[in-house]
């Protein structure tokens, strides 16, 4: 087995091939991050032997094109999180930093962790992730403008009192615009009016995106929408950030990826676990919101929290247990849905083949 570690950059990709049995370097190659460079890299990798797979540092913005080039040719591609390379650097006998050293560290990290998630071709999951990321960017931009708008209104001494979290509602934006228009003209007042109009525009864009995401999730993952506390936006985050539940070896691996699995800190006869602060924080935040919602209004989750508190746990500890339980449920739901969709596609292709033969 040959592991080809790749250190991707915007202009070039550097690859180092290691023998999986001995860890010995077989060769290295630097190519341009273009179509021709990707072809050159693939030809070089195939000349090394048939039993191989690629390990790419998980930098989506610079490694995505390379992944999309390798996967259609049937190549196996593993994504190595950058934080895993720290251990590879510490254990390396060669000090310093260069692209070949980084690529070799990527390959060693992949050898040390053989069950890394594998990349796959982009599809509806990536489209959902792009939409949710774009919506989150717009929401964050609106929040920044709202904060500056409130300070401008405070400095202008606007007579209208604004309650918290109302600057994304058209009725309050109309009231504020009317109050600002009635004030004497000034530069600050003009800026505040521009901010009001920008808030209204961003609100319309985010609501339009939310409707589009909801329509997509009703088709792509209606099973997640049936989970208590899981909105269409939460389901979109789960689908987009997970990028396929089948790429995980099991629900425990998914929980570790999400960061809801507690980390063991046992020593000797002492067996303890501590809070897991690693993993995909967007997924962790999504499951946290689902857990908080269920703990407030879902009878089974409320009973679960009460039972954990009766065992001596604090409210935070009980909520962590609930998050672990929800991550297990989410993984099983997505895994079953993916298997069912795959079986449906296979049956459709089989039926189409029978019809074609009969014709």
Q: What is the pLDDT of residue 30?
A: 93
Do 216 and 266 sit in the same domain of this protein?
no
End of a domain among 198, 220, 242? 220
Query: Is residue 132 situated within a structural domain?
Result: yes
Q: What is the pLDDT of residue 245?
A: 86
Do 236 and 346 sit in the same domain of this protein?
yes
What is the domain extent for residue 30?
Answer: 2-112
Task: Tell me how far CA of residue 69 lies from CA of 49, 213, 269, in angstroms.
Answer: 19, 28, 51
Q: What is the pLDDT of residue 91?
A: 57
Q: How many CA atoms lie within 13 A of 278 on its CB side?
A: 13
Do 137 and 61 sit in the same domain of this protein?
no
Q: What is the pLDDT of residue 359?
A: 47
Query: Is residue 215 situated within a structural domain?
Result: yes
Instruction: Tell me if residue 32 falls in helix, strand or coil.
Output: strand
Do 135 and 193 sit in the same domain of this protein?
yes
Q: Are 233 and 210 in contact (CB under 8 A)?
A: yes
Say what the pTM is: 0.78
Query: Is residue 273 situated within a structural domain?
Result: yes
Q: What is the pLDDT of residue 87?
A: 57
Query: Is residue 119 situated within a structural domain?
Result: no
End of a domain among 80, 112, 144? 112
DSSP 316: H
d(CA 97, CA 82): 14
Query: Is residue 168 situated within a structural domain?
Result: yes
Do 201 and 139 sit in the same domain of this protein?
yes
Do 173 and 208 sit in the same domain of this protein?
yes
Query: Is residue 16 situated within a structural domain?
Result: yes
- Each residue's pLDDT, cut to its tens digit, for the chain (359 residues) gives 899 999 999 899 999 999 988 888 899 999 999 999 999 999 999 999 888 989 998 876 788 888 888 988 888 888 887 777 665 555 555 666 788 888 988 888 888 877 777 777 667 888 899 999 999 999 999 999 999 999 999 999 998 999 999 999 999 999 999 999 999 999 999 999 999 999 999 999 999 999 999 999 999 889 999 999 999 999 999 999 888 888 888 899 899 889 998 877 777 777 677 788 888 889 999 999 999 999 999 999 999 999 999 998 889 889 999 999 999 999 999 999 888 877 765 555 545 555 444 54
Do 101 and 154 sit in the same domain of this protein?
no
Query: Is residue 288 situated within a structural domain?
Result: yes
Of the candidates 185, 18, 228, 247, the residue with the CA atom closest to the CA atom of residue 111: 18
CATH number at residue 65: 3.30.420.10
Of the candidates 289, 306, 273, 180, the residue with the CA atom closest to the CA atom of residue 231: 289
Do 178 and 75 sit in the same domain of this protein?
no
Q: What is the pLDDT of residue 331?
A: 95
Q: What is the pLDDT of residue 90?
A: 56
CA 265 to chain centre: 27
Do 90 and 137 sit in the same domain of this protein?
no
Do 237 and 342 sit in the same domain of this protein?
yes
Task: Tell me how far CA of residue 183 lies from CA of 148, 167, 245, in angstroms.
Answer: 18, 19, 56
Do 339 and 246 sit in the same domain of this protein?
yes
Do 255 and 292 sit in the same domain of this protein?
yes
Q: What is the pLDDT of residue 340?
A: 82
How many domains, in total, are found in the chain?
3
Query: Is residue 226 situated within a structural domain?
Result: no
Token pair, residue 99, equals 């692209």
End of a domain among 112, 140, 173? 112
d(CA 6, CA 63): 9
């Amino acid at each position: 087995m040959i592991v080809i570690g790749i250190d991707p950059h915007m202009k070039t990709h550097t690859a180092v091939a290691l023998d999986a049995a001995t860890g010995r370097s077989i060769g290295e190659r630097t190519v341009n991050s273009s179509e021709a460079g990707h072809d050159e890299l693939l030809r070089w990798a195939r000349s090394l032997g048939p039993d191989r797979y690629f390990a790419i540092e998980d930098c989506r913005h610079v490694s995505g094109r390379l992944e999309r080039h390798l996967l259609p040719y049937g190549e196996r591609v593993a994504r190595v999180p950058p934080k895993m390379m720290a251990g590879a650097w510490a254990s390396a006998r060669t000090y310093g930093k260069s692209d070949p050293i980084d690529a070799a560290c990527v390959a060693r990290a992949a050898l040390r962790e053989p069950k890394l998630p594998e990349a796959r071709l982009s599809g509806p999951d990536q489209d959902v992730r792009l939409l949710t990321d774009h919506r989150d960017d717009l929401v964050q931009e609106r929040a920044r403008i709202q904060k500056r708008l409130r300070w401008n209104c405070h400095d202008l001494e606007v007579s209208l009192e604004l309650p918290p979290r109302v600057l994304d509602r058209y009725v309050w934006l109309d009231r504020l615009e009317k109050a600002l228009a009635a004030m004497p003209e000034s530069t600050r007042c003009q800026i505040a009016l521009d901010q009001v109009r920008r808030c209204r525009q961003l609100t319309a864009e985010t609501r339009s995106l939310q409707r589009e995401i909801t329509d997509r999730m009703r088709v792509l993952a209606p099973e997640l929408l049936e989970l208590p506390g899981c909105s269409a936006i939460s389901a979109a985050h789960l689908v987009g950030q997970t990028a396929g539940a089948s790429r995980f070896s099991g629900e425990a691996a998914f929980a570790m990826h999400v960061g809801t699995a507690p980390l063991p800190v046992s020593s000797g006869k002492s067996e303890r676990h501590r809070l897991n602060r690693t993993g995909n924080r967007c997924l962790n935040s999504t499951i946290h919101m689902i857990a908080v919602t269920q703990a407030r209004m879902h009878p089974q989750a409320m009973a679960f929290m009460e039972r954990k508190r009766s065992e001596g746990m604090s409210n935070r500890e009980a909520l962590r247990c609930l998050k672990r339980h929800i991550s297990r449920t989410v993984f099983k739901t997505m895994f079953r849905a993916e298997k069912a969709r795959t079986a449906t596609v296979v049956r459709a292709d089989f039926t189409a083949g029978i019809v074609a033969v009969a014709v």
